[in-house]
Amino acid sequence: MKSCKTAQRQRLIFAYTAVCILTVALLCRLAYLMLFKADYYGSKAKDVQQRERSIKAERGIIYDRNGVVLAGNKPVSTISVIHNQITEPEKVISALSEILEIDEEKVRKRVEKVSSIERIKSNVDKKTSDKVRDLGLDGVMVDEDYKRYYPYGNLASKVIGFTGADNQGIIGLEVSYDSYLQGEDGCILTMTNARGVEIEGKAEDRIEPVAGNNFYTSIDINIQKFAQQAAEDVLVAKKAKSVRVIMLNPQNGEIYAMANVPEFDLNSPYEIKGQEKMSQEKLNEELNKMWRNGCVSDTYEPGSTFKVFTATSALEAGVVKETDTFSCPGFKIVEDRRIRCHKTTGHGGETFVQGVQNSCNPVFMETAARLGTDGMFEYMDKLGILKKTGIDVPGEAATIMHKKENVGAVELATMSFGQSFQLTPVRLLSTVSAVINGGTLITPHFGVSVESSDKSVVKKLEYDKIESAISEQTSERMKPILESVVSEGGGKKASVDGYKVGGKTGTSEKLPRSSNKYIASCLGFAPAENPVVLALVLIDEPEGIYYGGQIAAPVISKLLDDALPYLGVERKKEEPEATKQP
């Protein structure tokens, strides 16, 4: 009996102890939750009780070098519905369908969908969104937003690029510098009850958006207009497939203008002629073609403009001098091949400088033979031909070149005058810049600086450069040679009154050779003794006359004639013949 009472007492003590321990544990847990986790669970409760509506951040503005807006923003609205707050669904469906011009069934699906918030339409202009707001419909939200706007329409469209519905960059500078241009979205937080209905009288919490950084480019809107107009004129005159123009500062790589005609309207980037008859696959293909930046993404055989590289390499290597003499019978036999000069009757005896002026293929084939395969590849490496430039827009294509071990005498000969390999226009200009700027290999670029929305400087942009790619002496020897091409040789139509212009023309036959399709090109720079602008023009598949010296050189003349005075380079009046010293 006694042992039974003892056992009972022990059970009571155990139970009491267990209850005490459990109570202490619960109190400790409660104290932990109330004291140490109060902020965490308070935030959780707030998340459940609050509905969040986004406030879009204003995207950073893109400017030209002089502060002209190239890409800005227009205030628009996003129309949304909150299912639990809609009191007159049929009225909402009818009104939104009519005002926003959306099929009624599409609106109905969104209105009847049980969700916290459902977007009906984005990028709604202010006039339309004001009509929706004035109706005062329960459950319909009109939130502020921004839409990208391009004041110059199709100007430099393939360079600037555009944004998608989410305001993220799609192509061009908009995507390259997207991380700078994008801001931080804000939001509006409203209190709701358990059924998701907003509680009247409760103040909204508002987190303000942070605008994106502004981006300054090297583009000069006026020089871009010069370039694009010149390209459009020759496109129409020659009924060409396309025309590409690049104008840059060869001293530092800043690009003043880049035109890829035909361009497209940045404010309507998805509109294309005849799209209603295209399959989605075909439409996507045509849009990608329309958006493609041919100056950066497309390679071509440079033809005789590449002779600038061959001549520079030979002078730098010391295998040729300006006074060396050559003979051109109109062709050169290389192994089993008879490779012609463009002048089939031949140039006869000529110096190296005259060979450059005449763009004589046999002279360059002989020069390349002296340089040798090893020498040719050594200077292609030094002058960047085998590498991408690193330009700050997406989609740069690499040079398509023979493997060194596969280059025989014939390949070396055709390479010397710009055939049997391909590079991009921007790659050629980067290399030519080093030839005429004293030997520094620059990175062509558009970016100059990034600033916060309050105009305080965030970052000055810098780009790689390689000094002494060639010697300054070789650069100083090449400039007068190229100037003589325009003053005395095949580039005469690139000349500009009052300025010394250097340059080189080119004509390349597209593959397959049997197609009889050509690219006419010309590059030019001025002033020849200290260049501030270097330009390249490519006319793709012109009708009729297709020689670069005949149809591309005049475009260079027009571009430089417009750009040089604008850049502040004084035009020098020629001394009258009677007063010149004998």
Phi, psi for 490 (deg, rounded to 5): -75, -5
The pair of structure tokens assigned to 478 is 């090449």
What's the predicted TM-score (pTM) here?
Answer: 0.86
State the Cα–Cα distance between residues 268 and 283, nearest whole angstrom: 15
Q: How many CA atoms lie within 13 A of 189 on its CB side?
A: 11
Question: Any residues with CB less than 8 A from the CB of 578 and at least 6 apart, and which?
Answer: none
User: In percent, how much of the chain has pLDDT > 70?
Assistant: 91
Q: Distance (Å, rounded) from C-alpha 253 to C-alpha 440?
A: 10
Q: Which of 183-187, 521-525, 568-572 has the weakest average pLDDT?
A: 183-187
On the question of pLDDT at 496 being above 70, the answer is: yes
Is residue 576 over pLDDT 70?
Answer: no
The model's pLDDT over 231-255, given as tens digits with 9 standing for 90+, comes to 999 999 999 999 999 999 999 999 9
Both structure tokens of 56: 């879009």
- Hey, what are 103's tokens? 């099929």
Q: What pLDDT does 84 receive?
A: 82
Whether residue 28 is predicted with pLDDT greater than 50 in this model: the reply is yes
Read off the pLDDT of residues 278-298 as tens digits, 9 standing for 90 and up: 999 999 999 999 999 999 999
Tally the C-alpha atoms within 13 A of residue 58's C-alpha that lie toward its C-beta.
16
Mean pLDDT value across residues 184-210: 66
- State the pLDDT confidence band at 455, using cuts at 50, 70 and 90: confident
Range 396-414 average pLDDT: 97
Output the CA torsion 292→293→296→302 (10° steps).
90
Alpha-carbon distance of 367 to 306, in angstroms, equals 13
Task: Please tell me the distance from the alpha carbon of residue 540 to that of residue 245, in angstroms, as a whole number.
Answer: 11
CA atoms within 13 A on the CB side of 184: 4
For the chain, which residues make up each domain, given as ranges?
222-447+467-571
How far is Cα of residue 520 from the mean position of the Cα atoms in its chain?
Answer: 24
Indicate if the pLDDT at residue 32 is higher than 60. yes
Whole-angstrom distance, CA of residue 56 vs CA of residue 165: 12
According to the model, what pLDDT value does residue 191 have?
Answer: 61
Contact 510, 223 (CB under 8 A): no
SS3 of 412, please?
helix
The pLDDT confidence band at residue 436, using thresholds 50, 70 and 90, is very high
The residues that bridge with 540 in the sheet, in sequence order, are 242, 519
Residue 439 contacts residue 469 (beta carbons within 8 Å): yes
Question: How far is 8 from 154, CA to CA, in rounded Å?
Answer: 95
pLDDT tens digits, 74-112? 988 889 888 888 888 899 999 999 999 999 899 899 888
What's the whole-number mean pLDDT along residues 358-368? Answer: 98
* pLDDT score at 554: 98
- Widest distance between CA atoms in the chain: 147
In sequence order, the 6+-apart residues with CB closer than 8 A to the CB of 336 are none
Element (H, E) at 71: strand 69-81
134-164, pLDDT tens digit by residue? Answer: 998 888 988 888 889 999 999 999 999 999 9
For the chain, the C-alpha Rg in angstroms (whole number) is 34
Q: Which CATH superfamily is domain 222-447+467-571 in?
A: DD-peptidase/beta-lactamase superfamily (3.40.710.10)
Q: Token pair of 128, please?
A: 């339309």
CA dihedral 368, 353, 432, 420 (to 10 degrees): -40
Distance CA 551, CA 553 (A): 6
Cis peptide before 512 (omega within 30 of 0): yes
3-state secondary structure of 145: strand
Tell me the pLDDT tens digit for each residue of 517-556.
999 999 999 999 999 999 999 999 999 999 999 999 999 9
pLDDT at 144: 80
Helix ranges, 74-153 (H): 89-100, 104-112, 126-135
Residue with tokens 């009972």: 8
Q: What is the mean pLDDT of the chain?
A: 91
Tell me which residues are annotated as active site. 304
Q: Quick: pLDDT tens for 498-508.
A: 999 999 999 99
Strand partners, 325: 351
Structure-derived torsion over alpha carbons of residues 351, 357, 362, 368, reported in degrees to the nearest 10 = 90
Q: Which of 445, 439, 428 lies closest to 390 in space, CA to CA? A: 445
Instruction: Evaluate if residue 266 carries a pLDDT over 90.
Output: yes
Q: Is residue 405 predicted with pLDDT exceeding 90?
A: yes
Neighbours of 278 (CB within 10 A): 14
Ramachandran quadrant class, 372 (left: phi over 0; alpha: psi -120 to 50; beta: rest): left
CA distance 93 to 112: 9
Calculate mean pLDDT across residues 466-477. Answer: 98
Query: Measuring CA to CA, which residue among 55, 53, 52, 77 is closest to residue 209?
Result: 55
Q: Which residue has the higher pLDDT, 23 or 43?
A: 23
pLDDT of residue 582: 38
Query: pLDDT value at position 579?
Result: 45
474-481 mean pLDDT: 98
Asked if residues 245 and 559 have their Cβ atoms less than 8 Å apart, the reply is yes
pLDDT for the residue 197 = 53
Q: Which helix (H) or strand (E) holds 88?
A: none
**Residue keyed to tokens 């050779």:** 513
- What's residue 580's pLDDT? 44
